[in-house]
Structure 1
Amino acid sequence: MMKSNTSKPSTLTFWSMVWLLGLAGQLCWNMENQWFNTFVYAKIAKDPTIISWMLAISALATTISTFLFGCVSDRMGNRRSLVSIGYILWGVFTILFGTTQFLKHGNSDETALTGIALAVVAADAIMSFFGSMGNDIGYNAWINDHMTKDNAGGLGASLAVQPVIGTIAGTVLGGLLVGADDNYMRLFAVMGGLVILLGIVSLFGMRDVAGLKPSKKGTFTQQFFSIFDVKEYMQHRELVWVNLMLAVYFVSFNVYFSHLGNFMIYYLGFTADTMGLIEGVGLLIAMFSTIPAIRLIRADRSSLIILIAIILNSIGLLIIGLFVSPENVNTATIWNPHLLAGVLFVGIGYILFLQTITVWSKRLYPEDARGSFEGIRIVFYVLIPMVVAPLISNPIIKNSGEFVDEYGFTEYLPTNTLFLAGVMIVLMTLVPLIWADREHRATRS
C-alpha cells in the first residue's frame, strides 16, 4: 500500500475531492441501482428474480468488503490508498460487467439463461466489492475524519445532495448513452472510465487528515472479529436506534426504487431518456431542501427533519401508487403532474432523510474505530435492506405484474402496488425515530 500523505490540503483541494470523488461514486452507484436493472430486462430477461439475487449478493459482497477494509483502514491509518485502488478496480469491473450481455445468443433456453443470470450476479458482486472498498469505506471514513462541528452541516448536505445529483445526472446521461438502440456497453464504458480517472486523480489530490494514526488492537484477526462484539456495540444506544432507522427506511426505498426504472419504461411506457428527465426535474427541485436543513441540523433538530422527511416520502409514494397508471400518463412529454409531484415529494423526503441521518450517525462513531463503524453502518444501510426488500418486492411483482408478450413468453413488470407497500414500510421508521430521539435527549441532558 502507498504511504499516506497527511499534509494539510487547501480548502479548495479538499472540497474538490469531496465533490469529485463523491459524485463519481454516486454516478456509479446510480448506474448499478438504476441501469443494471433495466439492463437485465433489456438484455437478459424480464424477470425480477434476477434483480433480487443481484441485490442480495451484491449487498453481501459490499458488507464483507466494508468490514474487511474498514479494519484494514483503521490498522493502517490510511484512507487514500483504499480510495485510489478501490475506485480504479471499481471502474474496471463496471466495464467488464457490461460484457455479460454477449453471453446471450438469440432465444437462449432456460438452462443457458440460468448460467447467464449467474454470471450477471457474480459480475455485479465483484464490482460492488471494490466499489465498497473505495467509496463506502475509503471515501466515507475520509469524510468522517475531516468532519468538524463547523463543517458537519455542509458535509452532510454534500453527502445527501451527491446521490441526488448522481441520480439526476446518471439517469439523464445514462438514458442518452443507452439511446434508442439499447447500447448499454457504451454506458458502462463511459461510467467505468470516469471512475478509473477519478481513482487516478485521488492519488495526487487527496490527503488524509493530519491526526490520523494507525489503530491496532491486537492481531488483525482479533481486531476484525471485535467488530462483531454485539455487547460492545449495544452500549452505543443512540447509534443502535439511528442505524435501525436507516435499515427500515432503506428497506422501503429498495422495495420500489430498484424497480422504478422498469416501472416507468416497461409498465408506463416511457423511453429511457424521458424517464431520466422526469426523475431529474423532480429531484433537481428537491435538492433545494438541503439549504434550510443545514441550519436545522446545526440547531440539533435532526429528529424533526427526519419526521418531516418520512411524512413527505409517504405522500409522494401514495401519489404514485394511487394516481399514476398507464392510462393517465402522456409518454410523449415529461409533463405528467401526478408523476412529477410524486417524484418531487419522494425526492425531498429522501434527501432530507439521508442528509440528516448521515451527520447524526457519524457524530456518534468512536474516534478510534471510524472505519469499522462504517462497516457496521453498511449492514443497516445496504445488507439488511437489500436482502429484505426483494423478499417483499419480488412476490408483489410476480403476483400483480404478470403479463404474456406477443411471443407467448411470461414477463413480470413492476406496478403501482410496490409504491403502496413502500408507504406502509417507511411509516415503520417512526418507531426507531422515537427511541433515537429519546436517547439523544437523555444524552444531551
Structure 2
Amino acid sequence: MAEKSVSATSSTPLGRRIWFSAIFFGLIGQIAWVVENMFFAKFGQDLFDTRGHLYFTVTTLMVILSAVTATVTTIFAGGLIDKTGKRKPFITFGYLIWGVTIMLFAAIPIDFSDDRSWGIIAALVVLDCVMTFFGSTANDAAFNTWVADVTDVTNRGKVNTILSVMPVIATVLVFGIGMATYDNGATVEVAEGVFQKVSIADRDPLNIKLFFIIMGVFPMIGGLVSAFVMKDAPGIVKNSNPEYLKETFYGFRPSVVKANKMMYVTLGTVCLLGIAQQVFMSYLINFIEKTLGIRDYILPLAAIIVVGAVITGVLGIFFDKLGRKKFYFPLLAILVVGAIVVYCMKFMDPAAYLPILIVGGAILLGAILSLSGALTASFQDYIPKGAEGRFQGVRMCFTVLIPMALGIGIAQAVGINSLDAKDPGQVSPPFELFLAAAIIVAIAAIPLIWVVKDSDRLRSSLMERKVAEESAASPAPAEIGEAIPADEAALLPAIGNDPDEKTIAPDGTDTE
C-alpha cells in the first residue's frame, strides 16, 4: 500500500450538516454578541449622554465587567465541557437562555431621575454580565470547542475565515433591525437636510423594547434548531481526571505554557489585534454617526460587508491550499495603513468621508477578518488532543479580557473622556482612536514573526498526524488469496460500511 504524502493539501470534506451548523450557529451567536458589544454600550451611552461623566463610566463598567465574566465563565465551562465530552447540550440550552437574557433589557427604564442613575447603571451591568455568562457558556466555550472538534489542518483556515465574517454580517442585520426599531425617531429634521438628535427619554420606549425582544428571539431559535440539527464530533476524548477544579485551570499552568509556548505566542498576536480593535469598537456607531456625520450608513455598510466577505472567503481557500504564513504580514500591513488613513480623514474634506469609508472599509474588513481567522485556525492547530474545551478559557483571556480592559483604557487616555458629555452634540469619538489602533497593530508584528517561522513545522507535524490517523483507521487490504485472520475480519464490517447493509461474520452467519 502506497503511503500518503505528508505534504498533501487536499481538504477533508465536512458535509452539509457540519457546514450548516458552523455557519448558522456561528451567525446566531454573533448576532447576540453584536447586540452585547455595540447596542448595550449604545443603550448605556444614550441613557447617560446628558448626565456628565456617567456617559463613559457606564460604558467602561459594562465592557470591563462583562469581559471578566466572559473569561471566567469560559474557563469553567470549558473544563466542564472537556470532562463531560459533550458540546451539544451546552449549545442548545445555553442559546435558549441567552435569548431570554437579551429580552430582559426591555425592562430597563428609559426615562428616570438623576437620583436613580446609579441604580440604572447597576441594572445594566448586572444584566450584561448575566447575558454574557450564558453566551460564553454556549458560544465561547461549547461552540468554539465544537468547531475545533470537527475541523483539521486541511480545512480549519477556510472554516475560521468564514466564521470570522459572521460578526459583520450580524452587524448589518442588527443595525438594520435597530434602525427600524431602536433608532426609529432618534432624529428629527429641523430644516432641509439638517437633523437634530432626539433624547432617548423623548422617544417612543416601545421601539427600544421591541428591539431587545426581537434580538432575544434569534438565540432562542438557534437553541431549538440545534436540538435537531447539531451533532457532536465522533471520538471526543473526555478528561477523566477527577480533579475538576485543578483541570479547569490546565491551560494556565507554567508547565503547560512552556510545553505549548507557540500557542501562547499566537494568542499574544491575536491579543494585540484585539486591543487595537477594542480601542474604537465600542464607539464605532457613534463615530460613524456623529464624528463622520454619516446618518444613513446601512447601505454603505452592506456594500463594505459584501466586498469584505468575498475577500475573506477567497483568502480562506488559499490559506488551506498554500498555507497561512504567506498572508500574515501583507494583511498586517494593510491594517496599519488602513487605520492611519481613517485617522487622516480628520484633515480631509467631509465630502470624502463616505467614499473612503466604503472603499477603505471593505479592504480593512477583509484584512482584519482574514488575519483573525487565520490566527484562530493556528491557535486551534496548537491545541493538544482532548484539551479543546479547557483552552477556550485561555483564548478568552487573550481575545476578550485583556483587549477589552486595555482597549477601553487606551480609548479614555486618547481622549474619549475629555468630551463634554453634557452636550449630546459634542459626544463625538475622536479620530485619534484609529491612530492608537494603528500603533498597536504595528506592535503585533513582533510576535507574528515567530508565528510565521513556526508555520511550516506546525503544518508538517499536523499533516503527519493526520496521515497516521487515517492509516490507522484504514488498514491495508490483504493480497489476493491471502487469508484474513478472524479477529481482523470481525472488524471489517465496522470500517466504511453502511450499517444497514448485510455483513458476514467470521463464522459465516448473516449479521443483518
TM-score (ref. length: structure 2)? 0.78
1:200 corresponds in structure 2 to: 224
Task: Report the residue type matching 2:257 in the other structure.
Answer: Y
Alignment of 1:91 onto 2:99: yes
Give the C-alpha shift of residue 280 in structure 1: 2.3
Where does residue 74 of structure 1 map in the other structure?
82
What is the Cα deviation at residue 208 of structure 1? 0.6
The residue correspondences of 1:29-428 to structure 2 (distance < 5 A) are 29-45=33-49, 47-102=55-110, 104-105=111-112, 108-109=113-114, 111-182=115-186, 183-271=207-295, 274-299=296-321, 301-324=323-346, 328-329=350-351, 336-398=354-416, 401-402=419-420, 404-405=422-423, 412-428=427-443
Contact 1:325–1:416 (8 Å) recurs in 2 = no
| 1:430 paired residue number | 445
Q: Secondary structure at the match of 1:368?
A: coil
* Offset of residue 97 of structure 1: 2.3
Q: Which moved more, 1:414-423 or 1:227-236?
A: 227-236
Question: Does the 8 Å contact 1:70/1:374 carry over to 2?
Answer: yes
Residues 273 and 444 in structure 2, CA contact (< 8 A), matched pair in contact too? yes
Q: Deviations over 1:82-107 (max 9, x none)?
A: 101111111111111232244x42xx
Q: What displacement does 1:297 show?
A: 1.6
Paired letter, 1:69 = A
Which segment drifts farther, 14-23 or 409-418?
A: 409-418
Q: Which deviations, in whole Å up to 9, do the C-alpha atoms of 1:323-376 show, x marking residues without a partner? A: 15796148xxxx821222332232122111122112111111011100011111
Check 1:299–1:19 CA distance in 2 against 1; reply closer, same or farther (3 A cut): closer
- The 1-side partners of 2:17 and 2:103 are apart by 29
Structure with the larger helix share:
1
- The secondary structure found in structure 1 opposite 2:249 is helix
Partner AA of 1:166 in structure 2: A
C-alpha distance after superposition, 1:212-246 (max 9, x if no partner): 24212232122123332123123212111100001
Task: Determine if contact 1:400/1:417 at 8 Å carries over to the other structure.
Answer: no
The one-letter amino acid paired with 2:445 is L
The DSSP-based 3-state class of the residue aligned with 2:240 is coil
How far the C-alpha of 1:309 sits from its partner, in A, is: 1.9
CA contact (8 A) 1:177 1:186 kept: yes
> What CA deviation, in whole Å up to 9, does each residue of 1:246-304 have, x standing for no partner?
10000000001211101122333333xx2333322212211111233224322453233
Partner residue in 1 for 2:198: none
1:22 equivalent in alignment to 2:26 = yes
Distance 1:195 1:361 in 2: 27
Question: Residues 16 and 440 (structure 1 numbering): CA distance in 2 closer, same or farther, change over 3 Å?
Answer: closer
Do the aligned residues in 2 keep the contact of 1:91 with 1:191 (CA within 8 Å)?
Answer: yes
TM-score in terms of structure 1 length = 0.89
Contact 1:318 1:423 in 2 (8 A): yes
Q: Could you tell me which amino acid in structure 1 is paired with residue 18 of structure 2? A: F
Shift in Å, 1:152: 2.1
**Counterpart Cα distance in 2 of 1:167 and 1:234:** 38
Confirm or deny: 8 A CA contact 2:158 2:317 kept in the other structure.
Answer: no
Q: Which residue of 2 aligns with 1:6?
A: none
Aligned residues: percent identity? 26
- Partner amino acid for 1:368? G
Is 2:96–2:219's contact at 8 Å kept on the other side of the alignment?
A: yes
Q: Against the structure 1 CA distance between its residues 151 and 304, is the aligned structure 2 distance closer, same or farther, given a 3 Å change threshold?
A: closer
| Contact 2:291 2:429 (C-alpha < 8 Å) held by counterparts | yes
Of 14, 17, 21, 1:13 maps to: 17
Gap change, CA 1:354 and 1:266, over 3 Å in 2: same
What is the CA-CA distance between 1:36 and the residue it aligns to? Answer: 1.7
Secondary structure of 2:383's partner? coil
1:158–1:345 CA distance, 2 compared to 1 (3 A) = closer
Structure 1: which amino acid aligns with 2:117?
Answer: L
Deviation of residue 10 (structure 1)? 9.1
SS at match of 2:356: helix
Q: Which runs of 5+ in 1 are unaligned?
A: 1-8
C-alpha distance in 2 between matches for 1:303 and 1:174? 39
Tell me which amino acid in the other structure corresponds to 2:140: D
Once the 2 structures are TM-superposed, how far is the Cα of residue 195 of structure 1 from its aligned partner?
0.7
Residues in 2 aligned to 1:181 and 1:216: alpha-carbon distance in whole angstroms: 57
| Distance in structure 2 (CA, Å) of the matches to 1:194 and 1:169 | 11
- What is the deviation of 1:155? 1.3
CA distance in 2, matches of 1:24, 1:270: 28
Root mean square deviation, CA, Å: 2.4
Moved more, 421-430 or 160-169: 160-169
